[in-house]
Amino acid sequence: MTEVAFHFNAPDKLAYACRFARKMSRSGHHLVITAGTPLLDELSTRLWSLAPQEFLAHARADSPAYVQDASPLLLLSEPSQIAQIAQIAQPQVLLNLGDQVPLGFERFARLIEVVSASDDWDRHQARSRWRNYTQRGYAIVRHDLVLKS
């Protein structure tokens, strides 16, 4: 069963996603990040602007299959695109920055939900996703990012 974890109180969701992606890449995990197109565009810009030694190769759902296969990080703008990543041998970690429960999340070993520290709408949507997962029988792991800093 997929491990579902909520990472609460992120002061900057995109900065957190960059750090998390770097951590996953260094540990050899494939990471898929899902969010709306505008947010992923901004995330991609941030990933390209990292220092050269911090650069993270990444692909999008509309990238050719050989680019997706070679990339440890895949950005999906639509939760329904998860079905397109079947070519990844072992989908490992899904990071959700979006408002909805990603369709097909159960294909991953881990699902990470990132929740803003200050955006009330984001927090409200996260509560809805939390209820959805608990109703499906998932035990949720909590990580309060304020306590970690």
- Assign residue 118 the CATH number of its domain: 3.40.50.10110
Using one digit for the tens of pLDDT, what is the confidence trace for 13-67? 999 999 999 999 889 888 999 999 999 999 999 998 888 777 888 988 888 888 8
Q: Please give the helix or strand (H or E) that residue 58 lies within, else none.
A: none
Look up the domain containing 78 and give its range.
Answer: 3-148
pLDDT tops 70 at residue 125: yes
Quick one: pLDDT band at residue 85, thresholds 50, 70, 90? low
* Total number of domains constituting the chain: 1
Q: How far is Cα 48 from Cα 39, in angstroms, rounded to an integer?
A: 14
- Least confident among 58-72, 84-98, 113-127, 133-147: 84-98
Best mean pLDDT range from 30-44, 103-117, 127-141:
127-141
Q: How confident is the model at residue 147 (pLDDT cuts 50, 70, 90)?
A: confident
Q: Is the pTM for the entire model greater than 0.85?
A: yes
Distance between CA 2 and CA 4 in Å, rounded? 6
- Length in residues, the chain: 149
